[in-house]
Every structure is written in C-alpha cells, then in structure tokens.
Amino acid sequence: MTPNRLWLNSVRRRLGRWLMDEVVRTPLEVILHPSRTRLQWLGVFTFVGHLFFAWFWGHHLPQPYENVWLRVAIACSGLLLVLPSVTRDLHARQTILVFSMVAWIQLPLFFSWMYWMNHGNAVWLGSMACMIVIYYHLTDWRLASLGLLLGLTVSHLGASPELNVPQRATTAADQLAVLGFAWVSALLLGASSANLRRTRLLNTLSTIGVLAHELRTPLATLNLLADVLRNLGQQDVPEAKRRRIEELAGRLQTLAKSMHRQIDTQIANAQLMRLPRDSAPIQAADLVREVIDTYPYRSSRERDCVQIHIQNDFCFKGSRQLFSQTLNNLLKNALHALAAASSSPTPGALRIEVGLHHGRGRIAVTDEGVGIAHEHQSRVFEPFFSTQSGAGSGLGLTFCKNVVESAGGDISLMSEPHHGTVFMIDLPLYTTP
C-alpha cells in the first residue's frame, strides 16, 4: 500500500471516529446551561424584546416591512417558557418540546421570514447574523444546524416576493459572506463549547469511578475480618458467643456486599456517558427475580417484606448490568422508605410487579413507606437532589432515569406522603426473531 493511501486511510478512520464520538454517540443537550431562572428570564426577554422592536422598527427606525400582530404573537410565545408546568422539570419531554418549538419559531423561522420580506436590507442582515449566534448558544449545535436550515427553507417558501419593498443595497455575495461568517463562527463556538463541557463532565465522572474502585481495597479487608471471626467461632467457644460471632461476621459481609453494589452503581454511572451501551434482549421477570435474590438485605424481616408479582412477562432490549443497578437503586430507596416509616414492614409492604401497560412493558416498584412530599416529586430525578437529608448523594435516581431513557423507555412516579410511593418503568417491547 502506497504512503498516500495509508495517509488517506488514517484520515478516514480519524474522521469516522470523530463523527461517531461527536455526532452519533454524544447525547443531545437540547437546553444548554438549563436552570429555571434562565428559562424564565428567556421567556420574559422574548416577550418584552419583541414588543420593544415592534415599536422601534415601526416608529423610530421604520423598516420596509413590519407587522405588529405578528410581533405580538411571537412575543406571547415567550410566555410559555414562564409557565410553572414548563419550568418544573427541565429534563421533561414537555419542557424540551416547548423550548425547542419556541426557540425555533422565534429565531430561525421568524428572523428568516423577516429577512426575506425586507429583501435582506442592512438591518435584517445584521439581525440574522446575531440570531444565528444566539440560536447556537441556546441549543445543541446539531439541532441548531438542522433548525436553521429548516427555518430558512420554510420561511423562504412562505415569504411574499411581490411586496413593494426597496431592493437591498448589498449584493448577494455580500449577504452570503456575512451570513456564512456568522454561521461558521457560531458552529465552531457551539461545537467547541460542547466538547469542553463533555470533557469536564467525563473527567469528573472518571475521577468518581476511580475513587469508587479504590474503595474495594478496605472492603476486601472487611471480608477477611469476617472470615477470621468465623474461624474463631469454630473453635472451642460457648454457643452464645459462637452465635454472636457468626452474626457479627454476617453483618460485616453484608455491609461489604452492599458497598460493592454502591461502587458498581457509581462506576456504571461514570461510564454511562462515555462507553457504547451494550444492548441485548432481557426478560423482565428473570431480571427482577435475579435482583431480588441477590440483594444484600440487612435482615430476614427485610427480605420477607419483598414480594414479586408477575402479571405478564415481557422482553426488552438494554444493558442487563445497568438495569440491574437501576432496580437495585429503586429497591434500596424503597427499603429505606419502609425503614423510615413508624411501623415495622409486613410481607408485601414492598412489591415489584411485571406486566403490560398501554402496549409497553412495565416494571413497578411499590412501597408502603413514608412517601415523597408533593413539592419534591418533580425534582427527584435531578442530579444531586436527595430527599434523604445527609444520607443520599442525589445521583441514584438520575442514574436510573439515564439508563431507562437510553433503552427508549420512561420512568415516572406516584407518591402520597405517609402512604407510599410507586416508581414505574415503561419500556418498549422487543420480539425476538
């Protein structure tokens, strides 16, 4: 093979890796830098800004084409971003859909339409350049590129070229140069910013994974201590002491097993955004039984309160390891809620049901514990938010949400304070060939 062909193959492989890592496998960030306050201020700015420019372009610096009612309609679309139902959960599909539509309608669609209607004069040429940069700042650069192309096309088809509007002073080449420069600048800034955010996040998660892995060494020491205690119990000691030693050794090993599971969860959470997710058919009933049988319960009473109800078994595609960690998280949270309740858990106080719901498979984890306050229910899937004061990291349910959504499913909850909680995982069905 000639050197030129080797070089071309190397470039092709690097380009393929870049496309897979930066475009295909990288999760979409529809709302960049999400926060309730930022979303609300964006809605207010949209409302006030369009009304201001309706007056400014209509009276102070008149433009060839300006429509007050269209401006008012676009301004009112910004009020959708202030609604509590939209700002309650910034990761909800409803919020993402509303944000995407408002941003697309008021930026690429409206600005492009006004640009065509005003025949690309100097004011709207500058406005288009600013719009492109703002749009790439608000959403993922891939979505911004698609939205910009779609907005230009749809607005051009809907514009009226017969309007009696003075022709622009700039040439087509000037227009293309300005808009092309704005687009390339916004694209480079958006891609580099996304890469920087992702690099920082992956470095942080990798550090968490390494620290979690290093904790295995002291846990191995705990297991050795438990074995030493058991050996001492086998010697000539009174029966009461032997039972006490056996109980202590069992508790040490249960603690070590529980910590190992938590470490596995944190490592899997750190790897979720950086490794290709393996996907294989999983039988829901088998997965649930395996998790229930291998969970490190703290007592026999805790194990007895868990019951499995298989109404309809189903098959779905996903990572068995990640879904095992997901069910472990939900089981751990449910047992904690039962322990926090005043009464002792009875058999059936924690139920895991497998069945079908509206054409999808459902795994429901129901507990009769303390429940979740109404004001906290919309935030339980947010990173670092925990209802367990000083006891939870706030990453467990975020991890569950990421795993379920990576398989095309949804996770939701229903809870009534002091009466219990139900977590529902709905997954698309998979029929084996």
Residue 358 lies in a domain: yes
Q: Are residues 323 and 382 in the same domain?
A: yes
Q: Are residues 318 and 289 in the same domain?
A: yes
Q: How many structural domains are present in the chain?
A: 3
Q: Are residues 257 and 302 in the same domain?
A: no
Query: Between these two residues, 261 and 362, which has the higher pLDDT value?
Result: 362
Instruction: State yes or no: pLDDT of 319 exceeds 70.
Output: yes
Q: Are residues 349 and 228 in the same domain?
A: no
Residue 231 lies in a domain: yes
CATH code where residue 328 lies: 3.30.565.10
Instruction: State yes or no: pLDDT of 352 exceeds 90.
Output: yes
Instruction: State yes or no: pLDDT of 168 exceeds 60.
Output: no
Q: Are residues 231 and 314 in the same domain?
A: no
Residue 23 lies in a domain: no
Per-residue pLDDT tens digits for 220-276: 777 777 777 777 777 777 777 777 877 777 777 777 777 766 666 666 655 555 444
Residue 262 lies in a domain: yes
Q: Are residues 326 and 290 in the same domain?
A: yes
Query: Between these two residues, 219 and 153, which has the higher pLDDT value?
Result: 153
Percentage of residues in the chain having pLDDT higher than 90: 25
Inter-residue contact 337 to 371 (CB < 8 Å):
yes
Residue 17 lies in a domain: no
Residues ≥6 apart with Cβ < 8 Å to 411: 381, 400, 401, 404, 405, 423, 424, 425, 426
Q: Angle, nearest 10°, between helix axes 172-214 and 122-138?
A: 10
Q: Are residues 74 and 143 in the same domain?
A: yes
Report pLDDT for 275: 42
Across 65-69, 182-186, 413-417, least confident range: 182-186
Q: What string of DSSP letters covers 335-399?
A: HHHHHHSSSPP-TTSEEEEEEEETTEEEEEEEE-SS---GGGGGGTTSTT--SSTTT--S-HHHH
Per-residue pLDDT tens digits for 80-124: 999 988 888 787 788 889 999 999 999 999 999 999 888 888 888
Report pLDDT for 66: 87
Percentage of residues in the chain having pLDDT higher than 70: 80
Which residues form the domain of 336? Answer: 280-427
Mean predicted lDDT score pLDDT of the chain: 81
Report pLDDT for 169: 56
